[in-house]
Amino acid sequence: MLYVIGLGLGDERDITLKGLEAVKKCDKVYVEAYTSLLSFGLSSSGLSSLEELYGKSITLADREMVEEKVDDILSEARESNVAFLVVGDPFGATTHTDLVVRAKKLGVEVEVIHNASVMNAVGLCGLQLYRYGETISLPFFTDTWRPDSFYEKIQSNRVLGLHTLCLLDIRVKEPSLESLCRGRKQYEPPKYMTIGTAIEQLLEVEHSRGQSVYNEDTTCVGFARLGSKDQMVVAGSMKELLTVDFGAPLHCLVIVGKTHPVEEEMLEFYTLKEYLKSQKKT
């Protein structure tokens, strides 16, 4: 059996009871380490926290292992119980869908155990989940690559009055272009997009497209470290959010569409004014 188990968003304790029971039945346990991040990271100390609570030795599965050595994992799952742990919910990334598809094609039994993900945790700010349109991913711009295909998706959502969740780029164990040209992989340091970078890129694309889909006065909500004790939620215009230090990753951003009075009432608790007020108290 291959168990694909969501870990939730905060720390090692966010695993469900069902998920923990499944882990304890497994002979081999992997934790995926490149599509998201637990609040304490997945360094050696973070991995030790997982191993201590779960009572199992855990192998860190980076992008290369999952994409290039997935057959080894699936071969193990044919003969024994194998757990594949995913931050958030198992289907928060297409990579995990591909893993399940490949397993089923090979005749490996699969059980999926769900958990909280960013896709539902953003409901914290009061914007109703059923009023969201298509989610977009914002990649880091480079000197030679500045994709803007997400612009039409935001435009479609805003025409319908829907909110847009923007998932921000994570670059973990990415080979540098120079090393690829030399034929020997050397990896860049981990890089996590901030809300500030996301807004700057969004405004750059609006400036070049010029269709007035949004502007620096458009209301957004910035989220940092959702599910952790020090999570941060601030609502304001793009211009206002550029002044806020959201701290450590992971960050995401919501571009607010047409709001219902109940949504507005809840959102009021997270305005920049309220955030600054709370900072003075502490």
Closest CA to 213 of 167, 141, 159: 159
The answer to the question of whether 127 is labelled as a binding residue is: no
Helix, strand, coil distribution of the chain in percent, nearest 5: 40, 20, 35
Q: How far is Cα 87 from Cα 56, in angstroms, rounded to an integer?
A: 17
In the numeric block, the tokens 């694909």 are attached to 4
The answer to the question of whether 42 is labelled as a binding residue is: no
CA dihedral of residues 112, 115, 121, 123 (deg, nearest 10): 80
The answer to the question of whether 49 is labelled as a binding residue is: no
The answer to the question of whether 4 is labelled as a binding residue is: no
The answer to the question of whether 168 is labelled as a binding residue is: yes
**Which region holds residue 208: left if phi is over 0, alpha if psi is between -120 and 50, else beta?**
alpha
Q: How far is Cα 46 from Cα 123, in angstroms, rounded to an integer?
A: 27
Q: Phi and psi of 28, rounded to 5°? A: -135, 135
CA dihedral of residues 176, 180, 183, 185 (deg, nearest 10): 40
The answer to the question of whether 251 is labelled as a binding residue is: yes
The answer to the question of whether 82 is labelled as a binding residue is: no
The answer to the question of whether 60 is labelled as a binding residue is: no
Q: Are strands 2-6 and 110-113 parallel, antiparallel or unpaired?
A: parallel
The number of beta carbons lying within 10 Å of the beta carbon of residue 71 is: 10
Q: Phi and psi of 116, rounded to 5°? A: -65, 150
- Which positions ≥6 away from 30 have C-beta within 8 Å? 58, 59, 60, 61, 65, 73, 82, 83, 84, 85
Q: How far is Cα 38 from Cα 56, in angstroms, rounded to an integer?
A: 18
Please give the annotated binding residues, written as ranges: 9, 89, 92, 117-118, 168, 226, 251
- Report the binding-site residues for S-adenosyl-L-methionine: 9, 89, 92, 117-118, 168, 226, 251
